[in-house]
Structure 1
């Protein structure tokens, strides 16, 4: 960390060359001078890698990925049945009550943060392309990482908004007038770039820090994407390849160790180093841990809190409680540190992708292919780690029953992480049935009005 703090200002300076106005809507991002980008930031391996470090730093600070109250994790949790809102912030109430409007500021922050991240990745890709000043190894690594992060963002954009503009370069005049591309084209780009990233990326993590994408990170996202596209065989293949990498990954026996920095369960994490000072905590922990009756904007959904099997260690270790008077408040407790300004060592990183999801992906893919016994084995890996009785496979078990069990395990395992519950309910066509007050037009967030006003080629989703 000390080395990081020494170079933090340098990284921010390099990042400023790639992205000006990071908090502004993406159409307002000014493109830096091409000569500065090409000849200053990408003049050698060291500065080029530092520029890539700047992208990872920005992931902790941009609304989309930060884990705070404008992030996919939080807003997706409000949209699903994960949280109950305990404050009266109108923008949050709109997400929780499925009454979103195109003027919602949290929605704008989510959209803008996503596209600013894409812009940074595009700047890296342009800077390393055919750059003879960089080693082949550096060019491959930075291209692979940038492609991965870009399509990771596009995965969420298209699942939250449907058809979205495909921004693949840094020309401001072109970007400012980009229309929305059909979701099919977005997924085509995602698959193309993920396959390319998997070819380019090493299986190792630099410096043993799981805060950069590696080959298995790309394969893990490929497994998820194919699951969403209902390409069951491919989803099983890619998740199996990740699960076979037992030299790198394993389920943590101690549930309290899952979200620690560089956990062996982590495929990819974001470090709180992005604070740039003495803060050591994640934004997730800072937002969700409740130390006073009004210490967090949300509590856990009551029905969810009551729906655990006896002895499930996830309930005991991942749900915290605060009693004040006659009231008990339950909150997500996957992260244990709410606030730490000690300037010491980072002990928790914000989890983005982890191994448990790969077991659940493969269980679902196998179930859909009729491989029920193998799917039960995958589910039992998760259940046994949680301390609950394994499922018994019998010939009487139906595909529909097992799919429902997979969804239950996904909810319990992945709650409060990256909007999984909201996206699961949508892709399984259960949102209208499970969530009170949801209409068909609520399944996609609105394109921010501020963006439509600036770009005459942007259209709005139905119902807004």
Structure 2
């Protein structure tokens, strides 16, 4: 653990030019990282530790840590699944009310933490190019892992902010003045990174833990990317390839085991060990679960109208949703542990899991007119939730009716996970129907504002429409 923290600091030192550029782009000296880089990339042990440092940083970075300032919480607030308990936190209320000020510090943290992660992966990839006398298969594996993390980060950035700067090097002077790339160009880079990752990554997990990425993780994210791009055939192909890895991944009958560390449903998770402290609980558990004895710390609750979409007998209502009497509030209970310092770690923060792949394939098949096979995929998720097959409820199924049910099941299955509901509403153009009557809502609210601090530092950046 100590060596991981040291290497993380070295990687951060490599990224210091960009870290400073997120804070003070003007009047900085060129970072002198050549000596540090030569130290990191001169042995297999230090290279592996450097990649571990990147994974650990995902648990500390605002956008990916699952806590109050993460995509999971902030984009969850932007959707219609969760809301703030404490309305005095005005900056978080801005996400809920779709009135985000470009000077919002949470919005800034989403942006800067993502770009710091991108710079770390860029620095790591450049370092791999200079590595000598290192096993070639290991270098390919680590390249695939780093490219995956970069693609994953850009996927989130482009969906939150729209057109964003596409930064692929550690040239801090060039990066500091980079203009936005259009959404299509960013997606092209995401696909390029992921397809190469899917080609060179191993099928097994390098460490035996599902906190590193493998070939299936790259394919799972590719399935999501192609779904968002409405390339239904390719989305179906990649989700099928993941689903077919049945010796590794399974839909678990017990919902209370889904979010356990290295569960059979997990494709990729983030470990709390990346926090570097003594806590071994996930941030997701500590932010969403309303503790019966310390409810005054609670800041997030599920919306009542969302909870009411679950019918009686749905296991997700029973196992994934709790109720706190003192707050008179429902809360997400996917993660059970709010505070822990015990080993082994019981829960990891889920990023990619098999249930999403079935829902991706169901949607892709529906869009291609293959309603019967789409129903089979949908019913796997419904059956696990203890619901009857959908055709029992609607014998005369239309494409529109099936798509509506798939999106409803996505909402119920993936709530409080990585802003799925917010992104689903946007990509399916259903968002106007949900928020169009709200006094605060404007169509341009589908993208968050470019932080005003970044516009000051980079005169080539332009603000998103509506801000």
**TM-score with structure 2 length normalisation?**
0.95
Tell me which of 434, 442, 446 is aligned to 1:439. 442
Q: Is the 8 A contact 1:282 1:349 kept in 2?
A: yes
Q: Is 2:318 the partner of 1:322?
A: no
- Post-superposition offset of 1:7: 2.8
Question: What secondary structure, in the 3-state scheme, does the structure 2 residue paired with 1:290 have?
Answer: coil
Superposed CA offset, 1:350-396 (max 9, x none): 00111000000000000000000100000111111111112227773
Partner of 2:194: 194
Tell me which of 311, 314, 325 is aligned to 2:313. 311
Tell me which of 299, 302, 310 is aligned to 1:300. 302
Partner of 1:364: 363
Distance change >3 Å, CA 24–CA 329, structure 1 → 2: farther
Q: Is the 8 A contact 2:41 2:130 kept in 1?
A: no
Q: Is 2:377 the partner of 1:378?
A: yes
Show structure 1 runs of 5+ residues with no match: none
Q: Is the 8 A contact 1:128 1:134 kept in 2?
A: no
Measured in 2, the distance between the counterparts of 1:11 and 1:161 equals: 31
- Post-superposition offset of 1:333: 0.6
Measured in 2, the distance between the counterparts of 1:95 and 1:24 equals: 27
Partner of 1:36: 35
> For structure 1, which segment, 427-436 or 127-136, has the greater mean C-alpha deviation from structure 2 after superposition?
127-136
Partner of 2:151: 151
1:206-221 equivalences in 2 (<5 Å): 206-221=206-221
Partner of 2:236: 236
- Post-superposition offset of 1:27: 6.5
Measured in 2, the distance between the counterparts of 1:283 and 1:391 equals: 35
Question: What secondary structure, in the 3-state scheme, does the structure 2 residue paired with 1:11 have?
Answer: helix
Partner of 1:461: 464
Distance change >3 Å, CA 361–CA 269, structure 1 → 2: same
Partner of 2:14: 18
Q: Is the 8 A contact 1:27 1:176 kept in 2?
A: no
Measured in 1, the distance between the counterparts of 2:119 and 2:54 equals: 10
State the Cα RMSD in Å. Answer: 1.7
- Post-superposition offset of 1:9: 3.4
1:116-135 equivalences in 2 (<5 Å): 116-129=116-129, 131-135=131-135
Q: Is the 8 A contact 1:260 1:347 kept in 2?
A: yes
How many residue pairs match? The answer is: 457
1:383-462 equivalences in 2 (<5 Å): 383-392=382-391, 396-435=396-435, 436=438, 437-462=440-465
Superposed CA offset, 1:368-426 (max 9, x none): 00000100000111111111112227773100000000000000000000000000000
Measured in 1, the distance between the counterparts of 2:67 and 2:131 equals: 37
Measured in 2, the distance between the counterparts of 1:51 and 1:225 equals: 27
Q: Is the 8 A contact 1:17 1:36 kept in 2?
A: no
Distance change >3 Å, CA 101–CA 462, structure 1 → 2: same
**TM-score with structure 1 length normalisation?**
0.95
Question: What secondary structure, in the 3-state scheme, does the structure 2 residue paired with 1:294 have?
Answer: helix
Measured in 1, the distance between the counterparts of 2:131 and 2:241 equals: 32
Distance change >3 Å, CA 356–CA 157, structure 1 → 2: same
Question: What secondary structure, in the 3-state scheme, does the structure 2 residue paired with 1:331 have?
Answer: strand
Partner of 1:56: 55
1:83-102 equivalences in 2 (<5 Å): 83-87=82-86, 88-102=88-102
Q: Is the 8 A contact 1:268 1:353 kept in 2?
A: yes
Measured in 2, the distance between the counterparts of 1:192 and 1:206 equals: 22
Measured in 2, the distance between the counterparts of 1:218 and 1:80 equals: 27
